[in-house]
Structure 1
Amino acid sequence: MFAYYFKLGVRSLRRNRFLTALMVLTLAVGVAASVSTLTILHMMSGDPIPDKSSRLLVPQFDNGPLQDYTPGVDPGDMQMSYIDASNLLKSGQGERRTVVYGVAAPLEPARKDLPALNTTGMGVTRDFFAMFNVPLMHGQAWSEADDARGADVMVLGRAMAEKLFGNSNPIGQRLRMMGAPFTVVGVADKWNPRPRYYKLVGGDTFGDADDFYIPFATAIRHEADLNGGISCSSKRDPGFASLLASECTWLQFWFETSSADRSELQSWLDGYTGEQRKLGRFKRNAPNKLYDVMEWMEKLKIVGNDSKLSVWLAFGFLALCLVNTIGLLLAKFSARAAEIGVRRALGASRREIFRQFLVETAVVGLAGGVLGLVLSFGALALLGMQGSSTAALARMDWQMLGMTFVLSVAAALLAGLLPTWRACQVTPAIQLKSQ
């Protein structure tokens, strides 16, 4: 009977076409508004690296002074000093380790027809590429020896490589940066996770891909300009050397461990902070913490309250559309009272009438879903025109694609419950006498 009722539902779309079109459009607009905003929220809050997000860990220390300190208050700063970053790199803890140092530097192309470019990149260790699943289009990451001696080597981002060298392989080419010739050893393929979870503090959360990657030791040796935030709880002397020796926090650190090693790493960090306190550091005696990727994004409130409020407002608009759809369905089903009376007189039960009209309502919801999907793509396209960062979020995956139809049909069925119930209450005798 479902197939028969479905055919009746498709045919009913051609009855009173203006009323049907109005219902489908009302439902589609509500679905498009809610799905487009929900898609943005979904892309912002989704797990950016689901295969290992629980194994990538950020340590947090509180190395601030005792002055103006209130015990139990979260320091909020998720970066660390050069002293701690260096110690953690040498610790051998975890399967892999990396520092993330945001760098800004002018880059001089080998081509004479191109001027010097203002570029931004990262000072990292070679483990960075394996830890965050960075794909390499050409070449490879630098060696451990390059890390240790701070070699003048770099991995270019794909966009920058194509800008400088077109489609040719640039491995072995030299580019001048920070007053030194850097040798290109690799080219990263398209990789720009949104949000940029590996460098959220002091960085552009939904910004463009990095132009280059160089060894962390190289960035330190060249005293590279910092592209990011820095927090100093006490005064320090001017100069890069004093920055390295200070308690200023400006570097991000990541560990990669196995799932079972998190508690072991936490114990080691507790021991490390204990040793540093004996040296006169970590005077606040605050507990250190570990955050995996999703915990860190939650702590830093990557998805703000304004984004969540937008979704609630969009679903409020969908509820308003449903109220209008209920009124239109009541009008449509009321006009078929005579038909319902005849069917009831011929032996159809109220349950069968309810099923028939509910299936017809689902057909309306399906039509609204198709139109809503088209409108959703249009809305996301308009949002994407606001900038490259928004464009990366304004895209619909298969999960949201399926949800569009589910939401549309569910909304139509919800709106159709009252009109369908009213249709079941038609008294056959009264309708037959009125004919």
Structure 2
Amino acid sequence: MFQYYFLLGLRSLRRNPALTALMVLTLAIGVAASISTLTILHVMSGNPLPHKNGRMFVPLVDNGSLSGYTPGNASGDKQLSYRDAVNFQNSKMGERRSVMFGVGGAIEPQRKDIGAFTSQGLAAYRDFFPMFETPFLHGQPWSEADDAAGADVIVLSRKLAEKLYGDSNPVGQRMTLMGFQYQITGVLDTWEPVPRIHRIIGSGAFGSEDSYFIPFTSAIRHQTSHNGSMNCSGNREPGYQGTLDSECTWMQFWFEMANDGQRGELQNYLDSYAQEQRKLGRLKRNAPNQLFSIDEWLVHLRVVGNDNKLSAWLAFGFLALCLVNTIGLLLAKFSVRAAEVGIRRALGASRSDIFRQFLVETTVIGLAGGMLGLLLSFGALALIGMQSKQLTVAAHMDWVMLAMTFVISVAAAILAGLLPTWRACQVTPAIQLKSQ
């Protein structure tokens, strides 16, 4: 019976093509507006490593000065000092851990057709690569011995490797970066996590990918300047060593635990560490020590702002307005078929039969609106992506949102069809037969 009603629904689309096209277009516009904004919100708030959400954590300790501090006020700092970051790195806590900070400098290609250019990268430990599940096209990360020795080794992004060496495998070759010779140990395959949870501070959650990765210890040994934000709440001695010895915060850190049940263990370590540091005269604010999972970190840094959420609500409000118009059009469409309903009722069709038939017809309209809405959504996302490079990364539809388009469209059509369908079921057969 459903198949029969479905075929009737397809035929009914041709009865009044102008009215049908207006209903489908109204529904499609509302769906496109809501889906395009919902897609942006979905991508921006997504977790690129959902299976590690209960295992990966960002630690924060408040090392600010007491000057101007009010107890109970949360610190706005979201990074660590060099001292705390290195202590965490040497703690051996968890399965993996890595301190990191952004670097940038000049690259001097061996090719004569390419001049020197600047590029940004990341200084980190070897654990960074398996922690964030970076895919390798050639080679592998540097070794733990390279971390310990501060060796001049480097991992390139695929984009940078192709720019410098074409399609050839550059592993084992040496390149000049910031005036020093680095040996290439690996080349990453295309890696574009959205959002970029490891680089939200500095280059942004939707910024461009890092072109290279070097050992943290090598960057410190060469006194490499950091490429990112720094917050200094106290005095700092001049020079690079003065920055390392200061309470300036400019480094980021991630722990990866062996399983999801070790958050309490890590929190206990963090509290014990802070207590020991207070005995040394540091962390004078005695503020709570914080741990953030991936999802909590995204919320803490407000990757999805209130403006994005408001845009989504406004889009769904527009969809509701489109539904009101669709209800009016369906009432007009079904009212002209009162005679047909009366004859069917007289021939023995029940009100439930009429209800099912008209509801299936509205579902057909929803499917048509979903297909057109999907095309309009792709167009809207393309226009949004043209506004900025960051929006280009976020303005793409995955399978979840593709399915959501049809779910929202059909659900909206059924919701809009409830009142017109109920009205159609109230037709009195005797009155309709007398009028014929």
What's the TM-score bracket when you normalise by the shorter of the two chains?
over 0.9
Aligned-partner Cα distance in 1 for 2:199–2:385: 23
Q: Hey, what does 2:132 align to over in structure 1? A: 132
Aligned-partner Cα distance in 2 for 1:117–1:54: 40
- Which stretch of structure 1 is more off in the superposition, 72-81 or 379-388? 379-388
User: Are 1:70 and 2:63 matched, yes or no?
Assistant: no
Q: Hey, what does 1:201 align to over in structure 2? A: 201
- Which stretch of structure 1 is more off in the superposition, 199-208 or 275-284? 199-208
Give secondary structure in 2 for the equivalent of 1:309: helix
Q: CA offsets, 1:279-315, max 9 Å, x none? A: 1001011121111111111111111000001110110
Tell whether the 8 Å contact from 1:40 to 1:394 is kept in structure 2 after alignment: yes
Q: Hey, what does 1:115 align to over in structure 2? A: 115
The CA deviation at 1:237 is 2.6
The CA deviation at 1:392 is 2.0
Tell whether the 8 Å contact from 1:24 to 1:365 is kept in structure 2 after alignment: yes
Letter in 2 for 1:223: Q
The CA deviation at 1:144 is 1.0
Aligned-partner Cα distance in 2 for 1:47–1:249: 26
Q: Hey, what does 1:265 align to over in structure 2? A: 266
Give secondary structure in 2 for the equivalent of 1:119: strand
Q: Hey, what does 1:34 align to over in structure 2? A: 34
The CA deviation at 1:204 is 2.0
- Which stretch of structure 1 is more off in the superposition, 377-386 or 159-168? 377-386
The CA deviation at 1:360 is 0.6
Aligned-partner Cα distance in 2 for 1:262–1:204: 27
Q: Hey, what does 2:98 align to over in structure 1? A: 98
Q: CA offsets, 1:201-249, max 9 Å, x none? A: 2332201110000000111111212111110012323321110000000
Aligned-partner Cα distance in 2 for 1:97–1:186: 20
The CA deviation at 1:391 is 2.0
Q: Hey, what does 1:382 align to over in structure 2? A: 383
Q: Unpaired segments of 5 or more residues in structure 1?
A: none
User: Are 1:61 and 2:65 matched, yes or no?
Assistant: no
Tell whether the 8 Å contact from 2:342 to 2:427 is kept in structure 1 after alignment: yes
| Identity rate, percent | 65
Give secondary structure in 1 for the equivalent of 2:52: coil
Aligned-partner Cα distance in 1 for 2:390–2:164: 23
Q: CA offsets, 1:165-186, max 9 Å, x none? A: 1111111222111221111111
Q: Hey, what does 1:155 align to over in structure 2? A: 155
Q: Hey, what does 1:248 align to over in structure 2? A: 248
Tell whether the 8 Å contact from 2:36 to 2:380 is kept in structure 1 after alignment: yes
Q: Hey, what does 1:360 align to over in structure 2? A: 361
**What is the TM-score of this pair, normalised by structure 2?**
0.98
Tell whether the 8 Å contact from 1:202 to 1:230 is kept in structure 2 after alignment: no
Q: Hey, what does 1:283 align to over in structure 2? A: 284
The CA deviation at 1:389 is 2.4
User: Are 1:406 and 2:407 matched, yes or no?
Assistant: yes
Give secondary structure in 2 for the equivalent of 1:196: coil
Q: Hey, what does 1:310 align to over in structure 2? A: 311
Tell whether the 8 Å contact from 2:235 to 2:246 is kept in structure 1 after alignment: no
User: Are 1:18 and 2:33 matched, yes or no?
Assistant: no
The CA deviation at 1:388 is 3.4
Give secondary structure in 2 for the equivalent of 1:91: coil
Q: Which portions of structure 1, spanning 4 or more consecutive aligned residues, are displaced by more than 6 angstroms?
A: none
The CA deviation at 1:145 is 1.3
Letter in 1 for 2:163: K
Aligned-partner Cα distance in 2 for 1:203–1:125: 19
Letter in 2 for 1:288: N
User: Are 1:295 and 2:296 matched, yes or no?
Assistant: yes
Tell whether the 8 Å contact from 1:81 to 1:247 is kept in structure 2 after alignment: yes
Tell whether the 8 Å contact from 1:155 to 1:187 is kept in structure 2 after alignment: yes
Q: Hey, what does 1:332 align to over in structure 2? A: 333
Q: CA offsets, 1:124-160, max 9 Å, x none? A: 0000001000111111111111111111110001111
Tell whether the 8 Å contact from 2:47 to 2:195 is kept in structure 1 after alignment: no
Tell whether the 8 Å contact from 1:195 to 1:206 is kept in structure 2 after alignment: yes
Aligned-partner Cα distance in 2 for 1:356–1:260: 53
Aligned-partner Cα distance in 2 for 1:333–1:268: 69
